[in-house]
Amino acid sequence: MNYPIWDVPILGSGLVIAMIAIFHVFISHFAVGGGFYLPMTEALALRKGRKDWMVVLKKHAKFFLILTGVFGALTGVGIWFAIGNASPEGTSTLIHYWVFAWGIEWVVFLVELSSIAAYYYLWNRVSDSLHLQLGWFYGITAWLSLFLINGILTFMLTPSQAWLDAVGSGQETFAFWSAFFNPTFWPSLLVRTLICISMAGVFALVSASRINGVQQPELKTEMTLWARRWLLPAFILLPVAMFWYLSEVPPAQRALLSLGVSTVGPGLFTVLTRMALVFVISSFATVAAVYLFTSQRNATGFGLGSALTVAAMAYLTIGSMEMLREMLRKPYVISQHMFSNGVRKSAIASINQKGYLATTIWVRPEERARWAADDEAATHGAPRVPDSARGELIFRGECMACHTMDGYRSMRKLLKGRDRKGISNMLNVLHDYREDSPYRVFMPPLVGTQSEVEALADYLTVKVAEKPAK
Amino acid sequence: MSEAPQDSGQESSISRRVFVRTGIAAAGACYAAALGYPIYQYLAAAAQKAEVEASVKEVVLNDVDKLPAPAALMFKFSGRPAMLIRHTDGTWTALSAVCTHLGCTVQFDPGKDLITCACHGGVYNPTTGGNISGPPPKPLTLFHVVVNQGKAVISRA
Amino acid sequence: MEKRVPEHKHSFWYYWGGICLFLFLVQVLTGVLLMVYYRPGPDAYDSVRQITYEIQFGWLIRSLHAWSANLMIFAVFVHMFSVFFMKAYRNPREFGWWTGLGLLGLCMVFGFSGYLLPMDELAFFATRVGLAIPETIPGMSHIISAVLRGGPEVSSATLQRFFALHVVVLPALFAPLLGIHLWLVQKHGNAMPPSEEAKPASERKSILFFPNFALRDMAVWLVVLNVLALLAVFSPWQLDAQADALKSAPVGIHPEWYFMSQFEALKLLGRVITGTLGEIVGIGMFTLALAMWALVPLFDTRTAGGRRARQTTYFGLLILIALIALTIIGYLEVA
């Protein structure tokens, strides 16, 4: 526990990351998909000599530039802020091992943003062929930025055996390529590229919906029907891609899926399969709804309201897909290496021996001395002194990464009705971390000395007995 | 559903149309299956449960006279954990070892002559299976047991 | 199939009747599935526990059923008020209005009867409170006890008859009424709001019902399905402790939100006029308001004139604001 804890009431720090990141994916996947939509549509328009298409496309490009440039960049940085606060150990690890990849990514961003600005501002100021090449250049660099982040993101779920073997040895960079091109890299790249193509279609529909269907019915019909075709590849190929992705996920993580597959217990680990269900329903429904709204005879009547409804459903699909992916990785933030609360798997034994709070700098010397005295007295058979304050520190460090007291995954609700003995029993099951522990699939071990475990039990008993702060 | 305007080549457009339509039909079928799967599983749940229950009628354990008293022997009944307890007064109890709270495997404490659950502190009576304290809402299911010359035959009550 | 649907800036509200129908279909499907495992009688609670926590995807079927019930009643209110403010009750659509009100009433009884079926604490006490209210009317107490409740207390007997009501009687009444309602819509078509009627015929736009509007209707149904899925997934219905008649009612017990406004109105009135008189006045006022609401087509006719039209609109606004305000106040009081 070397960093301050980010205490977000009701939501929890994890959900803050989720809200920012899901919005970012919504925008950024449009940024990549649009990178192909723009030059492809331009090429088509040039080939057919359609100046009216180019007028619509230019407006769409402006919308694209502002939306992705502003909100994409803002939320991208927002993710950095959020993960740095919520999971400093995890973020620090990602920075240390992927410095080279991040460096490349930021170069790619610079090129990407410059090229889309050039694409828009040099419209009608350079030759058609150069403009088109600029568009393709942007598309390729945008897809490259997806390629790079995909490596780092999939690494978190499947870091590859080579990296796991190398970690801690100082030779981790020798495993760079194995870790980058890890087992879930390629299926995830396919899934995300398909989503990018769909998002291009979703936002193209928004632009198409704003064409006046009374004044320009043929143009509106053409652009609407062209835009909706972009949703087809994902609709057809996503089931295959998702199946491929899930087959590469390690069995230990897939166990989470079967854990929640059919029943809903009092815990939230079943959110995984529920999210999978929403994802299936939403993705299917989004595409079907688009096709129903924009059927041949209807396209001129496709209004902004309908387009935004489709965008909202796409947002839902993306949100549930991302939550599904995140849930698959529990209880780790880096699979088989670091748990969600920042504790490394390799450090379990030493923390259990020395204590979780032994190395933190955020403790006053008087407090530390008092604990040492209490522990010393306990070894000589003195009765235990209940220590809620110490327990609270353990809770903040080890539990608050995933649990809030009264909001998301409410600790108070989950422990309702238990007395101190029941809580202590449960914490010891978490601490022992045996093979047959029912918590093992989705929770990290509770690490620390026995007196720290008991202090946590003291704290939780007090909290469970309290009335929730309303 | 129509294609983009002014398609070049009627022939490629027709086969493309067939391809796209087939793709949509296949994907649609996948999605329909994904939605129908929960309903099928829901309806099939009862039959699956009955199958599991019917599959094991009785379990025979040998050499149970070697079990000291008081002590418990863990075994599996119909794939679920169960325990056979030999009491100090010479009687035997066989019962399910699945805690009625959240399904953890319970254990017998010979010192206290109680059945306890480590997960959340549930306590049961070792003769009747009744839930004495802690979160368990219901007693443990008792089985019928007959012990004859070191052989215990356990069946559903 | 030459039917056309008017297209104007209020066309959005035309979808809400279809949304009610879709949600009703979800109710029928999930309801039938629940009946496969639900056991009315002393075993009811255990059967719902099994459905929720043991049977595969039982939690999903149950959550869909419970959420769809709430969404349906919400949709019915939106549908009713949009019909009201668009004055779609006017001749020749009076019977559409009256059958619609009948359907609303049946929906509320569906909700009330279904609520008891899990027999957990919440269900038990909410039903007990709910049945206690009409009891205050002189003469009703005996009828309620003999017919509805099956005894002096809410019990297994109540459960059995609520189940028969929910699963047989109400559907048998609902289906033909719904049939008539839909047939009337087909016969008369969608009504235009007065502002649209005032325009010359050449300026009015419309689209074909089949296939254009019908396809859009399907798309809206898919959106509603998404909302349902999201709700069932983020907030699956859990089960309270089993009903125990000897326990005292939990503090702040209240009926479901769609009864909250009436509940709160009676409470507030009871503070001004205490005792049985207060209850009778309260129930009397409801009946009067309901009667006025039902007779609106006879008051605000096409030829009655602008004054009556305006008065009716104000009346509708008053009722709408009162319902919303009373519901909010009700929740603030139990919090």
| Digit-coded pLDDT (tens) for A137-177 | 999 999 999 999 999 999 999 999 999 999 888 888 889 99
pLDDT in tens, C70-83: 999 999 999 999 99
Burial string for A216-247 (b: 16+ CB within 10 Å, else e) reads: beebbbbbbbbbbbbbbebbbbbbbbbeebbe
Whether the pLDDT of residue A466 is over 90: the answer is no
Between these two residues, C258 and A290, which has the higher pLDDT value? C258
Mean pLDDT of B21-27: 81
CATH, domain A345-465, list 1.10.760, 3.40.720, 1.20.140, 2.60.40: 1.10.760
Chain C closest-CA separation from residue A268 CA (Å)? 9
- Could you tell me how many residues make up chain C? 335
- Three-state secondary structure string covering C121-140: HHHHHHHHHHHHCHHHCCCH
Torsion region of A203: left, alpha or beta (phi above 0 gives left; psi -120 to 50 gives alpha): alpha
Distance CA C218, CA A292 (A): 7
Looking at chain A, the number of H-run helices and the number of E-run strands are 19, 2
Residues of chain B found within 8 Å of residue C37, distances taken between Cβ atoms? 45-46
Distance CA B62, CA C333 (A): 66
pLDDT in tens, C39-63: 998 889 989 988 888 888 888 899 9
Q: Are B157 and B128 in contact (CB under 8 A)?
A: no
What amino acid is encoded at A19 in this protein? M
Residues of chain B found within 8 Å of residue C56, distances taken between Cβ atoms? 38, 41-42, 44-45
Distance CA C54, CA C61 (A): 13
By C-alpha distance, which of C100, C132, C114, C110 is closest to C283? C132
- Could you tell me how many residues make up chain B? 157
Residue A116 burial (CB count, 10 A): 26
Whether chain B has a CB inside 8 Å of the CB on A422: the answer is yes
Look at B38 and C60 and tell me if their CB atoms are within 8 Å: yes
Report how far apart, in Å, the C-alpha atoms of C129 and of each of A162, A168, A306, C126, C166 are.
Answer: 65, 65, 44, 5, 19
Sign of the torsion angle spanned by Cα atoms A335, A339, A344, A349: negative
Mean pLDDT of C300-308: 85
Q: Are B118 and B111 in contact (CB under 8 A)?
A: no
What residues are paired with B109 via a beta bridge?
Answer: B114
Q: Predicted confidence band at A285 (pLDDT cuts at 50, 70, 90)?
A: confident
Torsion of CA C60, C65, C66, C70, to 10 degrees: 130
Q: Which residues contact A334 (CB under 8 A, 6 or more apart)?
A: A90, A93, A94, A155, A156, A159
Where do the domains of chain B lie? 7-54, 58-156
Whether the pLDDT of residue C145 is over 70: the answer is yes
Interface of chain C toward chain A, CB-CB under 8 angstroms: 7, 12, 52-60, 63, 207-208, 211-212, 215-216, 218-219, 222-223, 225-226, 229-230, 232-234, 236, 238, 335
Q: Which residues contact A55 (CB under 8 A, 6 or more apart)?
A: none
Looking at chain C, which residues constitute the CATH 1.20.810.10 domain(s)?
Answer: 4-253
Distance CA A172, CA A165 (A): 9
Sign of the torsion angle spanned by Cα atoms A12, A13, A19, A21: negative
Q: Give the count of Cβ contacts less than 8 A between chain B and C.
A: 28
Give alpha helix (H) positions in B7-144.
10-55
**High-pLDDT (> 90) share of chain B, %:** 28
Whether the bond between A9 and the residue before it is cis, its omega within 30 degrees of 0, is no
Q: Predicted confidence band at A272 (pLDDT cuts at 50, 70, 90)?
A: low
Specify the residue for token string 């109105």. C265
| Half-sphere exposure for C150 (CA within 13 Å, toward CB) | 13
Sign of the torsion angle spanned by Cα atoms B6, B9, B12, B18: positive
Pick from A262, A264, A286: CB nearest C236: A264
Report how far apart, in Å, the C-alpha atoms of A396 and of each of A393, A429, B118, C196 are.
Answer: 5, 19, 25, 62
Neighbouring subunits of A (3+ Cβ pairs under 8 A): B, C
Strands B80-86, B92-96: pairing is antiparallel
Whether the pLDDT of residue C29 is over 90: the answer is yes
Mean pLDDT of A412-417: 83
Mean pLDDT of A400-406: 91
Residue C115 burial (CB count, 10 A): 21
pLDDT score, position B7? 46
Where do the domains of chain A lie? 13-339, 345-465
Look at A262 and C56 and tell me if their CB atoms are within 8 Å: yes
Whether chain B has a CB inside 8 Å of the CB on A297: the answer is no
**Which string of DSSP letters, residue by residue, matches C199-246?**
S-GGG-EEEEIIIIIHHHHHHHHHHHHHHHHHHHHHS-----PBP-TT
Mean pLDDT of C214-240: 85
Look at C37 and B39 and tell me if their CB atoms are within 8 Å: no
By C-alpha distance, which of A91, A86, A88, A87 is closest to A8? A86
Q: Are A11 and A407 in contact (CB under 8 A)?
A: yes
Would you tell me the crossing angle of helices C94-116 and C257-272 to the nearest 10 degrees? 90
Pick from C55, C207, C230: CB nearest A316: C230
Whether the pLDDT of residue A469 is over 60: the answer is no
Chain C closest-CA separation from residue A279 CA (Å)? 9
CATH, domain B58-156, list 3.40.50.300, 2.102.10.10, 2.40.30.10, 1.10.390.10: 2.102.10.10
Whether the bond between A233 and the residue before it is cis, its omega within 30 degrees of 0, is no
Q: Are C172 and C57 in contact (CB under 8 A)?
A: no
Q: Predicted confidence band at A95 (pLDDT cuts at 50, 70, 90)?
A: very high
Specify the residue for token string 């530390």. A368
| Half-sphere exposure for A124 (CA within 13 Å, toward CB) | 5
What residues are paired with B116 via a beta bridge?
Answer: B107, B123
Whether chain A has a CB inside 8 Å of the CB on B81: the answer is no
Of A385-394, C28-37, C176-185, the poorest mean pLDDT is in: A385-394
**High-pLDDT (> 90) share of chain A, %:** 60
Distance CA A372, CA A369 (A): 5
Q: List own/partner pairs for A130-138 with CB under 8 A and 24 or more apart.
A: A131/A42, A132/A39, A132/A42, A132/A43, A132/A46, A135/A35, A135/A38, A135/A39, A135/A42, A136/A39, A138/A35, A138/A38, A138/A39, A138/A112
Chain-centre distance of CA C255, in angstroms?
A: 13
pTM of the model: 0.79
Whether chain A has a CB inside 8 Å of the CB on B33: the answer is no
- Token pair, residue C215, equals 């396809």
Mean pLDDT of A265-283: 63
* CATH for the stretch C4-253: 1.20.810.10
Whether chain A has a CB inside 8 Å of the CB on B6: the answer is yes
pLDDT score, position B79? 73
Q: Are A409 and A402 in contact (CB under 8 A)?
A: yes
Distance CA C177, CA C259 (A): 23
pLDDT score, position A297? 66
Q: Determine phi and psi for B143, rounding to 5 degrees.
A: -110, 165
**High-pLDDT (> 70) share of chain A, %:** 94
Whether the pLDDT of residue B8 is over 50: the answer is no
Distance CA A88, CA A58 (A): 42
pLDDT score, position C53? 82
Q: Give the count of Cβ contacts less than 8 A between chain A and B.
A: 67
Specify the residue for token string 């960079």. A173
Report how far apart, in Å, the C-alpha atoms of C79 and of each of A458, C68, C193, C196 are.
Answer: 54, 16, 14, 19
Q: Are A433 and A441 in contact (CB under 8 A)?
A: no
Look at B119 and A295 and tell me if their CB atoms are within 8 Å: no
Distance CA A338, CA C157 (A): 57
- Token pair, residue A60, equals 């769409």
Whether chain C has a CB inside 8 Å of the CB on A309: the answer is yes
Whether chain B has a CB inside 8 Å of the CB on C58: the answer is yes
Distance CA A103, CA C139 (A): 83
pLDDT score, position C279? 79
Distance CA B115, CA B129 (A): 8
Whether the pLDDT of residue A292 is over 80: the answer is no
Residue A36 burial (CB count, 10 A): 21
